[in-house]
Amino acid sequence: MIGEWKAVLAANARQWNLPTEGRWKFFVHNNYQPNYSGVNIFWFHNEGRDPLVVTKIFPESSLAKQEFQNLTDAHGCASGEVPKPYGLLEHQQSWSLWMSGVSGSPLTLELLSDSLIDRLGDTLVTIQKGVASKRSARPSRHRESICAPLELAVERSSAIAEGCRRTLGAYTNGTLDRIPVLPQHGDLYSKNLIIGQDGKWGIVDWELFGNIDLPFYDVMRFLFSLDTERAPDRWNVAVQRYARRLMAR
């Protein structure tokens, strides 16, 4: 099977502006998810330590097409921070999505800086507004993303039930409909933001992009992940400072 994917890479290398000579090595990662599982292949050229190409193998077409479109739209808004989509190919029993690799390691709190926070905020806004102009909101979005989780919390957690009821009561007279439609990455936690030694960085894993379009979802998901998923009242001082700066951005 790997031989087939390597042949695809060799056949398309020139078109994708990749090296046509030398040796390609690979690392295979089984990506198991609650509702989906697939295979990621990271391709390294010669002795390079960072992948030049990433291949995601899908067992069916809908997820593959969705992520390819997400990646295309996001890359069109922020080409420096979003992997470049090379192609989506159909095979006998699977689909393969090919994209550029991102150099570096997952972000940690120690690597954060004011300048990185500012660039991240600006990039998110650019992508969200750019893609929002091309997509329309789903009529059921508020019911799925806001009301249903609050109703479930009222039913199952007496400790926060009253607060959730008050929040639900505030969403009347079209309040939810006035919230801007801003497509979110959906899984923007620290391990999906890769930063290199040269300070360049990129955001990976775009399969959920647009499933949620509520402002600040990405910001909060990212900040929670920086402090081991703790709630805001338990964030350390550094995360609190970065939170204010990122949301202001």
**Measured at the alpha carbon of residue 26, what is the angle toward residues 23 and 30, in degrees to the nearest 5?**
170
Q: What 8-state DSSP symbol labels residue 37? A: E
Amino acid at 3: G
Q: Do 115 and 190 reside in the same domain of the chain?
A: yes
Q: What is the CATH number of the domain that holds 178?
A: 3.90.1200.10
Of residues 94 and 88, which shows the higher confidence score? Answer: 88
Whether the predicted pLDDT of 243 surpasses 70: yes
Q: Do 239 and 149 reside in the same domain of the chain?
A: yes
Q: pLDDT at position 31, please?
A: 72
Amino acid at 24: W
Q: Do 94 and 141 reside in the same domain of the chain?
A: no
Task: Provide mean pLDDT across the span 15-33.
Answer: 89
> What are residue 203's DSSP bridge partners?
193
For 3-7, 25-29, 137-141, 190-194, which range has the lowest pLDDT when averaged over its residues? 137-141
Q: Do 123 and 198 reside in the same domain of the chain?
A: yes
| 3-state SS track over 82-141 | CCCEEEEEECCCCEEEEEECCCCEECCHHHCCHHHHHHHHHHHHHHHHHHHCCCCCCCCH
- Alpha-carbon radius of gyration of the chain: 20
Pairwise CA distance, residues 42 & 59, whole Å? 18
The 3-state DSSP class for residue 172 equals coil
Instruction: Mark which of 50, 81, 100 sits at the end of a domain.
Output: 100
pLDDT band at 20; cut points 50, 70, 90: very high
Q: Do 112 and 74 reside in the same domain of the chain?
A: no
DSSP E strands in 101-249: the ranges are 105-106, 193-195, 201-203
Q: Do 160 and 126 reside in the same domain of the chain?
A: yes
pLDDT band at 19; cut points 50, 70, 90: very high
pLDDT band at 100; cut points 50, 70, 90: very high
Mean pLDDT of the chain: 89
Q: Do 17 and 123 reside in the same domain of the chain?
A: no
Q: Do 147 and 205 reside in the same domain of the chain?
A: yes
Q: Do 146 and 96 reside in the same domain of the chain?
A: no
Range of the domain at 147: 105-248
Pairwise CA distance, residues 101 & 40, whole Å? 12
Instruction: Mark which of 100, 115, 140 sits at the end of a domain.
Output: 100
Q: What pTM value is reported for the model?
A: 0.86
Q: Of 54, 30, 56, nearest to 42 (Cα)?
A: 54
Domains in the chain, number:
2
pLDDT band at 229; cut points 50, 70, 90: low
Q: pLDDT at position 33, please?
A: 64
- Determine phi and psi for 90, rounding to 5 degrees: -95, 135
Pairwise CA distance, residues 158 & 92, whole Å? 52
Q: Do 112 and 230 reside in the same domain of the chain?
A: yes
CA 36 to chain centre: 16
Q: Do 122 and 143 reside in the same domain of the chain?
A: yes
Instruction: Mark which of 100, 132, 150 sits at the end of a domain.
Output: 100
Q: Do 94 and 153 reside in the same domain of the chain?
A: no
pLDDT band at 67; cut points 50, 70, 90: very high
The predicted-structure confidence for 190-218, as pLDDT tens digits, reads as follows 999 999 888 889 999 999 999 889 889 99
Q: What is the CATH number of the domain that holds 17?
A: 3.30.200
